[in-house]
Amino acid sequence: MPVTIDLSGSVAVVTGGTRGVGAGITRTLLEAGAEVVTCARRAPDKPVEAAGRTARFLPVDLRDPAAVADFFDRVRDDHGRLDVLVNNAGGTPFRMLGDGAAEQQARVVELNLVAPLTASLAAYEVMRRQAVGGSIIMIGSVSATRPSPGSAAYGAAKAGLDNLARSMAVEWAPLVRVNTLVPGMVRTELSHLHYGDEDGIASVGRTVPLGRLAEPSDIGDACVFLASERAAYISGASLLVHGGGERPAFLDAATANH
């Protein structure tokens, strides 16, 4: 029999859930039956839809703790519960450390580490009062475990996010599970900014053992699993969703002369 995951009746929040990877996560949660609330500073050009259903959007600045607390109170009041938080909002411009002021690097850390912490604390205040608790999913990055020239502050923030999730998983057990989903390269509407045209994207995809970049739905499927009862005994874990990672450069160098 096929294994299906039904999140009907559950309420999920996806930060930054209106475009790119976040929109893919939102669509997959909608397809699984969840009610989904997305948030960002600005409203999207069009709502995120899937399976004939539409995600709700509420504006919030995730760097404002009071506004974040109000946002989660509103979700609880309007929907009666909060089962899942996906901390997806984040990102960074490409900037070598020597080319940016300390304040610029600090803002990257604030968005990618402090903001998810702020959202998680507010979500926990809702989840801990529910008999069923909840699930918090951090969207990390493979940049957290390798050198990240041009995005050093981002990689450092994502490394901190993974460690934060492990501590939350211990402190907030058994009611709230906390995990990190670690994507590799994902094909989104902004991929051309990083990888070039279709030929460039295909060329980059060939460096991945599975032969392609991830689709946003691949990340969404992993989120649906971690949010579900199928993952009831998974907490404090880091789930790699990177297609096998990268072929080690030394292999190509070692075989080049043979």
pLDDT in tens, the chain (258 residues): 566 899 999 999 999 999 999 999 999 999 999 999 999 999 999 999 999 999 999 999 999 999 999 999 999 999 999 999 999 999 999 999 999 999 999 999 999 999 999 999 999 999 999 999 999 999 999 999 999 999 999 999 999 999 999 999 999 999 999 999 999 888 766 555 566 677 777 777 787 888 888 899 999 999 999 999 999 999 999 999 999 998 787 887 887 655
Residue 176 pLDDT: 98
Q: Quote the domain boundaries for residue 97.
A: 11-255
Catalytic residue among 124, 154, 195, 233: 154
Summarize the chain as % helix, strand, coil (round to 5).
45, 15, 40
Is residue 170 a part of any domain in this protein? yes
Q: CA 94, 98, 104: angle at the middle one, nearest 5? A: 60
**Dmax of the chain from CA atoms?**
67
Residue 209 pLDDT: 86
Task: Please give the backbone phi and psi of residue 90, each rounded to the nearest 5 degrees, phi first.
Answer: 165, -165
Q: Is 154 a catalytic residue?
A: yes
Residue 1 pLDDT: 52
Q: Kindly state the helix (H) or strand (E) to which residue 75 belongs, with its residue range.
A: helix 65-79
Q: In CATH, what number is assigned to the domain containing residue 52?
A: 3.40.50.720
Is residue 4 a part of any domain in this protein? no
Cα–Cα distance, 65 to 70 (Å, whole number): 9
The predicted model scores a pTM of 0.93
Is residue 1 a part of any domain in this protein? no
Cα–Cα distance, 33 to 21 (Å, whole number): 19
Is residue 132 a part of any domain in this protein? yes
What is the tally of structural domains in the chain?
Answer: 1
Question: β-pairing, 84-87 with 49-50?
Answer: unpaired
Residue 246 pLDDT: 84
Is residue 6 a part of any domain in this protein? no
